[in-house]
Amino acid sequence: MQRYIRNIKIPQINENGQKQLLNSRVLVAGAGGLGSSVIANLASLGIGCIGIVDSDVVELSNLNRQFIHKFDNIGMKKTDSAEQWIKSYNPDITVKNYQCRLDESNFKDVVSGYDLLVDCFDSFESKFLLNKICVESGLPFIHAGVSGFGGQVLTVIPGESACLRCIFDEPDKDSCEETGVVSPAVSVIGAVQAMEVLKFLLRIDGLLTDRILIFDGLKMNFRELKIAKSRHCIFCGK
């Protein structure tokens, strides 16, 4: 436990909480920019089992923000590259590698057994699919999106809080490939997602449910947008 002594000294975590983190299972959907930040933070916290699902390979253009991937890993599957990084950083962690495109035909085999999912996909089309999967499976998830100098985070507890479809009628077709994004914005948003994971697993109050935290890196401020569960939502409404 010496590795996690600075975690343990925090009253809300302590030794029992650290043991709980070591026994937790978190699935990270996407091993790109957000995934890099989330995976690094989860490995630092000592999440015992980290699942990674992604179908892409490492490309040179990824390296401005996807810092767990190295130049020598260009052409390697992102899930393999991410697993390699985790094993070199914290060999105590179990890694589950899903080198596939998550869809409605395979998601039950992938998400089964996890405590929650972290949405690190880079397109809203994929994010809406995750929303549908998690609501149908009853699996809590931490949504985030980044673009340019900022981004947003929302935590969804199916059956209790608003989901993405409560807020947006249709997914935005934009992705970071089309809009561009800088590494510091990705790191900030990914760190907030990891903090939400920590709070969820240890039942610490203050989750970003029914509110979106929005970060603007140019103005260097955070603002909060309150939302509500919609009874007309096609996924979670009544």
- Quickly list H helices, the chain: 5-8, 14-22, 33-45, 78-89, 107-111, 124-137, 164-167, 176-179, 183-201
Q: What tokens appear for 87 in the block? A: 């094993």
- Helix axes 33-45 and 183-201, enclosed angle (nearest 10): 40
Question: What is the side-by-side order of every strand in the sheet holding 150-156?
Answer: 94-98, 49-53, 25-29, 116-119, 141-147, 150-156, 211-216, 221-226
Contacts (Cβ under 8 Å, ≥6 apart) of 213? 152, 153, 154, 192, 222, 223, 224
134 catalytic residue (yes or no): no
The catalytic position among 163, 166, 176, 236 is 176
Q: What tokens appear for 101 in the block? A: 């495109």
Q: Are 236 and 229 in contact (CB under 8 A)?
A: yes
Cα 23-101-105 angle, rounded to 5 deg:
90
- Helix axes 14-22 and 183-201, enclosed angle (nearest 10): 110
Q: Which residues are catalytic?
A: 176
